Amino acid sequence: MKKLTQLGILVSVAVSAPALASPEQDRATFEKFYESRFPQVAEGDFINGVYSILPAAREQWEAIEEFPPYEVAIELGEEIYNTPFANGKSFADCFDTPAQRENYPYWDSERGKVVTMEAAINECLVENGEKPFKTKKGKLAEVSAYMSYESRGQTINVQIPDDPAALAAYEQGKQLYYTKNGQLNFACSDCHMYGSGLNARAETMSPSLGHTSHWPVYRSKWQDMGTLHRRFAGCMTNVRAKPYKALGEEYSNLEYFLTYMSNGLEFNGPGARK
Amino acid sequence: MDRRSLIRALGGAIVAAAALPKLAWAAWSSNAMKAGESTAAMNELFGTADVVASAEVKLKAPEIAENGAVVPLEVSTDMPAEQIAIFVDKNPSPLVMTATMGAGATGLVKTRVRMGESSNVVAVVKSGGKLYSASQEVKVTIGGCGG
Amino acid sequence: MAKTIRGKAKAKNGLVDVKLLMKHPMETGLRKDKDGNPIEAHFIQTVEATANGNTVFSAQFNTSVSKDPYLAFSFSGADKGDVLNIAWIDNKGETDSADVAIK
Amino acid sequence: MFKGMISALALGVVLTATASSSVESVIADAVAANKQAKALGHEWNVTGKAIKAAQAALKAGNEAEAMELAAQAKYMAEASVYQANDEKEAWKLRVPR
């Protein structure tokens, strides 16, 4: 009788094998796409975004990196990180070490949602009776800049547990990445995959491999720090779509998908961009 | 006209120009800074616009600026330099900055400047009382890819 | 005035490489705020670097220098352990100064 | 192909709208379609502005301009719904194999 049931299980697994490729197959195909499109990019250099494919722009970026504008935010973030809340606790009580990037984003099975590092920062505040930070810039970007700086060199290693809800969140992020939106009718992949290396006006489209390794970012256009979700919202506005909420489900799932696509690369935030 | 007499001369002007803060160090060369055109600014700053282009002056500037608000520039020379000045011809006031080499300073200055539009950038080095220059066209584009 | 001067000074074979980042809005006076009235010019005019009692480098900025100005130069005549003093004054007469240890 | 289709549709909608329903009903259609697009996650940021412009023109009393703006708003709202439904499947084509 035991043999029969084993056979039964075997059959059912084969039948219900997902028609969709697995996340790991997606990642391998994603990586191969960029490595064949930009063979000149050295191993692991995609974490430097468009500067991995534009030598002239990279020179200017390196001049800025000599004394990058995000250093101010790192210092402010460290101060906030160590300043006790009203109840005497501080961020050090929520996180065993500030170097947390390698643990995020992760699938929280109890709450059934993707948790990003920025969301965890705000949750720590709320748990300690403090008001959460604004979700795109300011203190959240500063604390995140400090934690990202401390995490430099950690390997990107997003896990998708064997939980249908986690896989669904990954698939939603993936779908958003390939879905056309806004009056200009663009999908992220139109510019950052099939258009990567080409120009929109005078801007060269950065490749998506390594896209989420170097956040938060000081953009000279903003003259300010900004989180990854601020950039997602900015890009959707560019294509004339109404952006989703920062730290909301859509952008958290997109970050889950995009960061998974860069598994194996290194975190090198915070970053400086144009 | 060494620095001390320069200050005394300008000191008079400052007092006359009512309650400007008393500057303790090198006065701000306001005429040169306010000049609306490079040659005039050079004349105000150095007393002459007689400058010769020289390979001894190295100006590191981008061909296309990533962002017109933050254009990284580097001026360097192996000549013994007394002063280095940077001009952006098309800026409202072309003289962007000037640096005076003190004791032991080498002929090197790096900074980040704003450029309103594509323009010629000129670096001028004063060495042995003479002016040497290098220049490069820097393109500034309208940023952004959509919106 | 909160600390506005951040400096890195490294001594290497006789030369000290100095990199400075100064926190300052560097308003040109040409910009307008949200409701259209012009923002007053407010920018660093002079920067002075002194080490071991003598001025090693001084600079004059105009309004075209970027916000949070960056300035780098190098000089000889000081070594690890010496202190480089950086001071600036802007067109409103505000000033700040800081000591940067030469490493 | 899609861009050409948009302008063709726009022209069609403007002509029929002036003939029949009043400005209010066109604006109402635009608001309804925009809500639907929002539910599908495909609201465009230009639609809301067009609706407000149409309402303002109507309040200011210039009927013709209000109708023109209302028709544009309705067209954009319906195009964003069309985009949402079309993309339900179309996105899969862009996933690299």
Structure tokens, C15: 């030369």
Amino acid B144: pLDDT: 84
Residues of A labelled catalytic? 235
Domain positions in chain D are: 25-81
Per-residue pLDDT, averaged over C20-33, amounts to 94
Q: Does the CB of D81 have a partner CB in chain A at under 8 Å? A: no
**A57: contact with B, CB 8 A cutoff:** yes
ipTM for this model: 0.83
pLDDT, average across residues B83-109: 97
Mean pLDDT of the A156-177 span: 97
Chain C residues in contact with B103 (beta carbon < 8 A): 54-56, 75, 77
Note which residues in 110-149 of chain A have CB less than 8 A from chain C. Answer: none
Q: Domain of C89?
A: 5-28+39-101
Q: Over chain C, what HEC string results?
A: CCCCEEEEEEEECCEEEEEEEECCCCECCCCECCCCCECCCECEEEEEEEECCEEEEEEEECCCECCCCEEEEEEECCCCCCEEEEEEEECCCCEEEEEEEEC
Give the tens place of pLDDT for each residue, A80-122.
999 999 999 999 999 999 999 999 999 999 999 999 999 999 9
Which tokens sit at C81?
A: 């352990």
- Name the phi and psi angles at B120, rounded to 5: -80, 130
Q: CA dist C49 to B33, B101, D76, Å?
A: 21, 10, 60
Is residue C33 in some structural domain? no
In a domain, C44, yes or no: yes
C-alpha separations of B112 from A183, B109, C65 in Å: 37, 10, 6
Cα dist from A154 to A44, A148, B26, whole Å: 13, 10, 48
In this structure, is residue C69 part of a structural domain? Answer: yes
List of chain B residues whose C-beta atoms are within 8 Å of the C-beta of residue A237:
146-147
Q: What integer best gives the mean pLDDT of chain A?
A: 94
Using a CB-CB distance cutoff of 8 angstroms, which residues of chain A are in contact with residue D48? Answer: 242
pLDDT recorded at residue B21 = 45
CATH of the domain at C64: 2.60.40.10
Of A33, A178, A237, the CB nearest to D91: A178
- Mean pLDDT value across residues A232-259: 98
Residue B64: which of A56, A66, A186 has the nearest Cβ?
A: A56
Contact A72 C21 (CB under 8 A): yes
CATH homologous superfamily of B29-142 equals SoxY domain (2.60.40.2470)
Give the model's pLDDT for residue B147.
75
Residue C34 located in a structural domain: no
Which tokens in the block code for residue B81? 């330099």
Handedness of CA A145, A151, A154, A155 (dihedral sign): negative
pLDDT of residue A106: 98
Residue A52 carries which side chain, given as an amino acid letter?
A: S
Instruction: State how many domains chain C has.
Output: 1
Q: Is C24 exposed, middle or buried (0-12, 13-18, 19+ CB in 10 A)?
A: buried
Give the tens place of pLDDT for each residue, D8-49: 555 555 554 443 359 999 999 999 999 999 999 999 999 999
Q: What is the pLDDT of residue A18?
A: 47
User: Among A64-78, A155-169, B21-35, which is the least confidently predicted range?
Assistant: B21-35
Q: How many C-beta atoms lie closer than 10 Å to residue C68's C-beta? A: 20
Beta-carbon count within 10 A of A142 CB: 25
Give residue A3's pLDDT. 59
More confident of the two residues C59 and A1: C59
Number of B/C CB contacts below 8 angstroms equals 115
What's the whole-number mean pLDDT along residues C29-54?
94
pLDDT tens track for A43-89 = 999 999 999 999 999 999 999 999 999 999 999 999 999 999 999 99
> What is the mean predicted confidence (pLDDT) over A131-145?
98
Q: What is the pLDDT of residue B27?
A: 82
pLDDT of residue C37: 94
Q: Look at residue A15 and tell me whether its pLDDT is greater than 80.
A: no
* Higher-scoring residue by pLDDT: C36, D10: C36
Q: What does the pLDDT look like over B51-94, one tens digit per residue?
A: 999 999 999 999 999 999 999 999 999 999 999 999 999 999 99
pLDDT, one tens digit per residue, over D67-81 is 999 999 999 999 999
pLDDT of residue A59: 95
Predicted pLDDT at C29? 93
Q: Which residue segments constitute the domains of chain A, with CATH numbers given?
A: 22-274 (1.10.760.10)
Measured between beta carbons, the chain A residues lying within 8 angstroms of B110 are 63, 66
Check whether B7 has a pLDDT greater than 90. no
Q: Cis bond leading into A270, ω under 30°?
A: yes
User: Is the pLDDT assigned to residue D1 strictly greater than 60?
Assistant: no
- CA pair distance A9, A15, nearest whole angstrom: 10
Burial of B63 (0-12, 13-18, 19+ CB in 10 A): exposed
